[in-house]
Structure 1
């Protein structure tokens, strides 16, 4: 079920809070079943990657952007919230990944494949790469809160995503395992997060911005045991 907070007042006007999902209210993340569809490695190995750093030594292939080009910059630079993404030509090489995004049935924003090189150490990930995302800039009052979903493409059994409520408090830390096909949703504007990936090869995963709402709730429920 969705949560609908009460109205608030800002600068003399009523503000309708963003719609959020109850399932994310507790921990701020939810782990889903492993993806059932086998995805050929060519779908992520044959696309062009751009040098763009976020949460480690990373490169990104842009499958959907604000205006349909392979620009990894934020949607707000085009005057848009992180919604209503436009597929880029690169997605033609990744039809299964496009189906995965569209299967959620909700508005999506940026869609990227991340290529993450092995991490130097867990301690360096904590000290250097933990971050919050900026998902909801320009998000209109009363619309669905933007969260992020992942599909892990490579099998990385020794790797995990670190999520923390408090950046500096390890007691608030949870770890999301990253086997092949791992699927999970995180409120990344609430939770500090980064991936510890010991390697030895690069890790690949799809990252998508999704709008919270009934469609996303149903997709999560379909993908839970």
Structure 2
């Protein structure tokens, strides 16, 4: 039995949403505990929800479970707005993290070395919803963008998502190769949430799509 997937992602594998309209204090991401964890560049991660509520950035499969039913960590006490954003979706979520990406001015390195696919659906039972990822960009990074490719070795499949403050988008990161080109000058911060595909997520996405 196949996993349930979103029709909205069938064509491109991603969808750009309207920007988040609220205001989030920088303290909600700057005051967190960050771990030195590399993914697609010079990165650190603050764990907001993990498999068991500990400050562990590893995949949920290390605990014998799919990337669903995340448990809030101590960090979340400093990020109430971000917690409300996740929970107000009404969607089953797994990993929730803040990524801190330090500047990298080499676009070719991003396109060749850092492009990667995620392992979102290991141990995901057949018949349940496919796990995809939602981003909210927290800092204003007008010269930065997410690089997406259907085929890692085919530049003609490349698409870009701008990374302005409060940008929101959803990506099937197990399907698309992705990385962020961030020339800086300051670190870029964004929240990444694993969501389960299904009617609730489709409703949430459609309500935030540009009219």
TM-score by length of 2: 0.99
Any residues of structure 2 matched to 1:1-225 within 5 Å, and which?
16-225=1-210
CA shift, 1:120, in A, is 3.4
Consecutive aligned runs of 4 or more in structure 1 exceeding 6 Å deviation: none
Larger radius of gyration: 1
CA shift, 1:127, in A, is 1.3
Query: In structure 2, the residue corresponding to 1:101 is in which secondary structure?
Result: helix
The alignment's C-alpha RMSD in Å is 0.5
Instruction: Return the alpha-carbon distance in structure 2 between the equivalents of residues 128 and 195 of structure 1.
Output: 11
CA shift, 1:107, in A, is 0.6
Q: Provide structure 1 residue ranges, at least 5 long, that are not aligned to the other structure.
A: 1-15
Instruction: Return the alpha-carbon distance in structure 1 between the equivalents of residues 5 and 58 of structure 2.
Output: 25
Query: In structure 1, the residue corresponding to 2:112 is in which secondary structure?
Result: helix
TM-score by length of 1: 0.93
CA shift, 1:103, in A, is 1.6
Moved more, 94-103 or 21-30: 94-103
**Any idea what the Cα deviations from partners look like across 1:133-162, whole Å, max 9, x if unmatched?**
000000000000000000000000100000
Aligned length: 210
